[in-house]
Amino acid sequence: MRRRRVHRVATVSMHTSPLDQPGTGDAGGLNVYVVEVARRLAQLDIEVEIFTRQTARDLPPVVEMAPGVLVRHVTAGPYEELDKGDLPGQLCAFLSGVLRTEAMYDPGRYDVIHSHYWLSGQVGWLAKERWGVPLVHTMHTMAKVKNLLLAEDDNPEPKARVIGEEQVVDVADRLIANTDAEAAELIDLYGAAPARVAVVNPGVNLSVFQPASKGAARHRLDLPQDAHVLLFVGRIQPLKAPDVLLRAAARMLVDDPSLRERLIVACVGGPSGNGLARPDFLARLADELGIADVVRLVPPARQEELADWYRAADVTVVPSHNESFGLVALESQACGTPVVAASVGGLRTAVHDGVSGLLVDGHDPAAWAHALRSIVTRPSLRERLARGAPGHAAAFGWSATAARLAEVYTGALRRLHRVPLAVNS
């Protein structure tokens, strides 16, 4: 009986490009995921073509991101200043560009479609029907979950997104969940068939994010060697809850004013989502709390500089109201820096409580101040968690993620064609 392997994957990331800088706009963990997985799949001799919306007139139609990985820019709507909430109106135009690209080649160019986020899933659904190939979909975030865990000043996800996600869940051949908890949410909240849900943990780039000298990193970043550095990395929006860190820091200074001489609260990232409506929110909050002198607001950083920020910190703080996984937590731990994170979603997997960091229930600044103060003032605890952090992160390499995804692609093909399959035979 004929055996078939996965030669080429059409990856759909409509609303954000893998070439964008994570940490601002709509670029974040999804971008990192798409980039790292594509590169590792190419190393397995599986070519990847990533379809994303063109956001500038001067972008070339096709960019080779890495050997075996192409980024295809699809014209759909205005090049710039198009809010993510307006993108559903561009689904037809984007789909047309995707189908037009495939039509330029002989039939059978793509073996599998892997869509990321619900908008891309809508595109993948229709392309799947046209091409006769399986659709693998990764949610990354889910409207029903976000609406259950909203920050006080955040807006609920619209009904149209909920319906769109339900449709994608119904038609996808395989649904990728980052953790067992996310798999349960897909099944319980969206009625996904358990047999179609596969758990594939995201990873971390262990060649970039690895332990190195804290002193050297602080020197490069112009941070005092004796500082107590609390670090936030990510998009500035209510979902990520950077305000919880600032409120906790203010509480720490009330409880122990002597900390002010050495405390630095560094926030690396830019406004995103609902945070775009108040781009100066963190600066204003720092003023209101009386801690502007200890807060440093830093633009999004490339991976190499970001690794220095992790190494320079005493602790990385991830107070999100929800995370499907929490790549920032993994990156920090890979650099040898412990994490204090909210006990929500994928963070319960990304952080080994009591071994590589601490998990905090809820978002009460007093509870966060207590957890952070315990690390700042107890070197023995901080050093113990720092020793456990790299070992925990080492279990989450991107190569393992890509290998597991290749298995899922193969399973989806097997289901579609009902024939024995092999990834590389």
Name the residue type at position 89.
G
| Residue 29 annotated as binding site | yes
Q: How far is CA 309 from the centre of its chain?
A: 18
Q: Would the annotation count 132 as a binding residue?
A: no
Q: How far apart are CA 296 and CA 82, in angstroms?
A: 30
Q: Retrieve residue 418's tokens.
A: 């009902």
Question: Is 15 assigned a ligand-binding role in the annotation?
Answer: yes
Cβ proximity of 318 and 346 under 8 Å: no
Which amino acid appears at position 34 of this protein?
V
Residue 105 labeled ligand binder: no
User: Any known ligand binding at 240?
Assistant: yes
389 labelled binding-site residue: no
What are the beta bridge partners of residue 353?
A: 357
Residue 21 assigned as binding residue:
yes
Alpha-carbon separation of residue 5 from 9, 55, 198 (angstroms): 11, 34, 19
185 is in an annotated binding site: no
Q: Is position 90 annotated in a ligand binding site?
A: no
Residue 130 counted as an annotated binding residue: no
Nearest alpha-carbon partner for 249 in 239, 262, 236, 240: 262
Tell me whether residue 28 is annotated as binding: yes
Strand 47-53 with 69-74, pairing: parallel
337 labelled ligand-binding = yes
Instruction: Say whether 278 counts as a known binding-site residue.
Output: no
Beta-carbon contacts of 333 under 8 Å, excluding residues fewer than 6 positions away, are 339, 350, 351, 356, 357, 389, 390, 392, 393
Three-class DSSP category at 154: coil
Any binding-site annotation on 117? yes
Q: How far is CA 404 from the centre of its chain?
A: 18
Q: Is residue 316 a contact partner of residue 337, using CB atoms and an 8 Å limit? A: yes
24 is in an annotated binding site: no
User: Would the annotation count 289 as a binding residue?
Assistant: no
Tell me the C-alpha distance between 142 and 220, whole Å. Answer: 39
294: which DSSP letter?
Answer: T
400 known member of a binding site: no
Dihedral angle, C-alpha 142, 144, 146, 152, nearest 10 °: 160
Q: C-alpha 320: how far from its chain's center?
A: 12
Could you tell me which residues are annotated as the binding site for 1D-myo-inositol 3-phosphate? 15, 26-31, 84, 117, 141, 161
Could you tell me which residues are annotated as the binding site for Mg(2+)? 310-311, 313, 337
Could you tell me which residues are annotated as the binding site? 15, 21-22, 26-31, 84, 117, 141, 161, 235, 240, 310-311, 313, 323, 331, 337
Could you tell me which residues are annotated as the binding site for UDP-N-acetyl-alpha-D-glucosamine? 21-22, 29, 235, 240, 323, 331
